[in-house]
Structure 1
């Protein structure tokens, strides 16, 4: 049995899972950790010294633990050899990294794993600066990327900029072969522990962007690259997990433009990204990133002004209250002034290697609520884009079904005989809404897979005493939109 196998066995035997940890630290402990305070969780543990309590103290709470308790919970010699524990002179052990249980849902049911990363910065108001090669654990960004990643079964997947390996853990549930890269050697070391601890066979390679996979192609690439738009700095002062050292948003652009050479036909790149907004219309600027022959879909989920953006990332680096705050703030403002930054867009970028002469480029802002996980909806959109572009005769001959989650909402004055307008609203995916008139609403409502679309339009035209050809000309462009936006599925 290898050292990593022995460690896995001990974590299993202690019941070190998300649910077990949350039960022991209680809701108050969990809320405290969200505030970077360990006290509520420590109070909940009390004097407990069983293996699970020891693991919680060592890793999420980052506390020293007496060696007798550690030996009851972990293989100490093996953990020290793996670089997970340090034994202090006072006879206590401290964790040098964070091993945290991590759970998520898949189409096949719940999955329980562990992630190995550096400890949460700022825990209990610790102001120790983060090391440049700091490795982030599960974060809101990594969770968002996992939720928007398409869950389709694929032969090959690339986790570009793997960090602690969280995306590889997800990809391994639906990809036959997973490759993960990072420019940060420490990230690769911890990702190797993550994948090994979970018994996953992931090909880990060191290098920047697509360099380590220059001879490979993939069906799916997912990445949460170091996209923070920050002033250039030396490698010694750069936080590698968030800052790539590129000018402006050139790193994200390089990821997007380099995708076709690394994607199989029909393959997909998904990026969680930031981009700068200047006086140039942002839609036109990002549309210019579209690789030839590829569909590009950009969804801006949020936009921050330069001040809010700078303050967010200075605080993320642990510089709140630090003497360098003002100087760093001014440096960042000067850099944004040089770039002409008026704001920072944050959102999702999807590239599909469609290999078409008329690729679809959609740049939109959607700050509204979505239904997570949104990955299945993004996967459906990839297929729907091709269906919506079909010739008129094919659309009219096909049988379409209004999606089950679509509901009709009517708006008007109370007591009025007829509503002022009618909305079709999605309950899943992006939760879009579409205003419909009587004719278009009638056609959409009749799409139950029984009749071809052409027959439905003809029947509605007869009911409304309209010319069928004229109604077809008015309705068909809106049907294309309804297909692409996920209101209709092909029967």
Structure 2
């Protein structure tokens, strides 16, 4: 479907108007904090679910902020006089941010795009620009927005967008690449710590939105390139950071640009991961959200290990698995297909199940994939399932994981026993057993930060972790434990490094210094 079915966008070549509009929005407290204060937590949270009624009820007054919320977030026409009190109306009309829905003589004004205030990690007041009805992420039934459902709409900020932004490693870099930029949220974040930002998208409309997002947020512009996956990237170009929230949905056909990549099964995600290795600088990170198939008779972890390109360490975390019926229903509802003709909905649902059955797919996993370019002879590949709650942002946690991978790769068991360790911050010990029992059935170490892991340890492991304060070497601590327990210290030194290695790998213990 041609983009002609979608409204025209504001001009991306008028930075002066974007700057004036930004100043006006900030002057009226049209910010993330301002919205929360105006709407209240319940209505603000409802917006994130694409529910607008509570916000409509909360903006029945006549303040400038209420007018802006109705105009840019709730798609309501607002009287010209009210808008003129807040915004540079004539410039916004001339450059396409606003229109007169009733024609030249109309007394009301309407926005051509959604503008969502978004708080940056350093307290920045940013704005995400997207298609009307899409400011708060999820398509919310795009077929009901007064246009066909199979158009190349550009969504705003959704849960996947903020998840990827939160897990991204934020060290200063020379060059960052945002593949499939959409409305530009990942590129926006990258401008904080990358000297040069490149953003690509198959949808030219998305590149326009990214330019608007960056301009209205008051950050440097990016190098915007149209094309699929790595097509716009020159052969000799290398990046220190690659991020992508791709159209990862596994569906029978590429009907919706925002979610369907046009490749069979999970081939798009596989191609993205496999192609990233040769585009990374040494030590560079590539981070993706992805879906993958759980195929009958196949280990899903082996499937993902096969995606990892040569010369890269990898940490892959499966956060959720849905059976094929749940998965089909989720994305049919996301596109508003459940509101269509019942027979049409049933036919589309059946097509999803038919394709999954043909490929022997029993479920679909969702999670994070992080690669790091390494010169190590034997790269480290960790694939795990962790559906439990975590503490975002996780960028530092992910960077620390790979630092520990390097440390463990460089230290054999003898070096490990000679090293000094400290218990990580906010790790607690729990003893689990029946009430009144003399000894616990097992001991658990639990993190309250980052991944919030929990791991069982034996008596030696619990005792070892408990006295790790960086003073004594691991070997000296084990010798003392052996003496207390009446064990052979040589035997204890021989069998314990594997447990120490696991505690270091998972972040319970940190090398001292």
Normalising by the smaller structure, the TM-score range is over 0.9
Change (3 A) 1:81 1:244: farther
Matches within 5 A, 1:456-475: 456-475=477-496
1:402 aligned partner: 423
SS of structure 2 residue aligned to 1:297: strand
For 2:72, which of 52, 59, 83 is the aligned residue? 59
1:454 aligned partner: 475
Matches within 5 A, 1:73-152: 73-89=86-102, 90-105=106-121, 109-118=122-131, 119-120=133-134, 121-122=139-140, 126=144, 128=146, 129-130=148-149, 132-152=151-171
1:28 CA drift (Å) = 4.2
1:42 CA drift (Å) = 2.4
SS of structure 1 residue aligned to 2:361: coil
Q: Is 1:39 matched with 2:58?
A: no
For 1:311, which of 303, 314, 329 is the aligned residue? 329
For 1:249, which of 245, 266, 269 is the aligned residue? 266
1:268 CA drift (Å) = 1.1
Moved more, 91-100 or 122-131: 122-131
8 Å contact from structure 1 (residues 37, 123) kept in 2: no
2:9 aligned partner: none
1:302 CA drift (Å) = 0.5
1:415 CA drift (Å) = 2.7
1:426 aligned partner: 447
1:31 CA drift (Å) = 4.4
8 Å contact from structure 1 (residues 150, 375) kept in 2: yes
* Cα deviations by residue, 1:120-143 (Å, 9 ceiling, x for unpaired): 354899464445211110101101
1:32 CA drift (Å) = 4.1
SS of structure 2 residue aligned to 1:29: helix
* Cα deviations by residue, 1:9-31 (Å, 9 ceiling, x for unpaired): 21121121111112222234324
Q: Distance in 2 between matches of 1:70 and 1:131?
A: 33
Q: Distance in 2 between matches of 1:347 and 1:284?
A: 15
Q: Distance in 1 between matches of 2:42 and 2:229?
A: 41
Unaligned runs of 5+ in 1: none
2:355 aligned partner: 335
Q: Distance in 1 between matches of 2:188 and 2:404?
A: 28
1:480 aligned partner: 501
Q: Is 1:275 matched with 2:292?
A: yes
Unaligned runs of 5+ in 2: 1-14
Count, aligned residues: 483
1:218 aligned partner: 239
1:36 CA drift (Å) = 3.4
SS of structure 1 residue aligned to 2:496: helix
* Cα deviations by residue, 1:220-251 (Å, 9 ceiling, x for unpaired): 11111010001124xxxx22111110111111
Q: Is 1:197 matched with 2:216?
A: yes
8 Å contact from structure 2 (residues 140, 335) kept in 1: no
1:358 aligned partner: 378
1:376 aligned partner: 396
Q: Is 1:184 matched with 2:203?
A: yes
Q: Distance in 1 between matches of 2:363 and 2:140?
A: 28
Q: Distance in 1 between matches of 2:329 and 2:319?
A: 19
Q: Distance in 2 between matches of 1:38 and 1:487?
A: 44
8 Å contact from structure 1 (residues 132, 239) kept in 2: yes
Q: Distance in 1 between matches of 2:45 and 2:370?
A: 34
8 Å contact from structure 2 (residues 59, 67) kept in 1: no
Q: Distance in 2 between matches of 1:83 and 1:318?
A: 28
Moved more, 333-342 or 128-137: 128-137
Change (3 A) 1:209 1:440: same
* Cα deviations by residue, 1:437-480 (Å, 9 ceiling, x for unpaired): 22122222221111222222222222222222211221101111
Q: Distance in 2 between matches of 1:309 and 1:145?
A: 21
Q: Is 1:489 matched with 2:510?
A: yes
Q: Distance in 1 between matches of 2:363 and 2:150?
A: 28
1:18 aligned partner: 32
8 Å contact from structure 1 (residues 413, 419) kept in 2: yes
Q: Is 1:263 matched with 2:283?
A: no
Q: CA RMSD in A?
A: 1.9
1:59 CA drift (Å) = 1.0
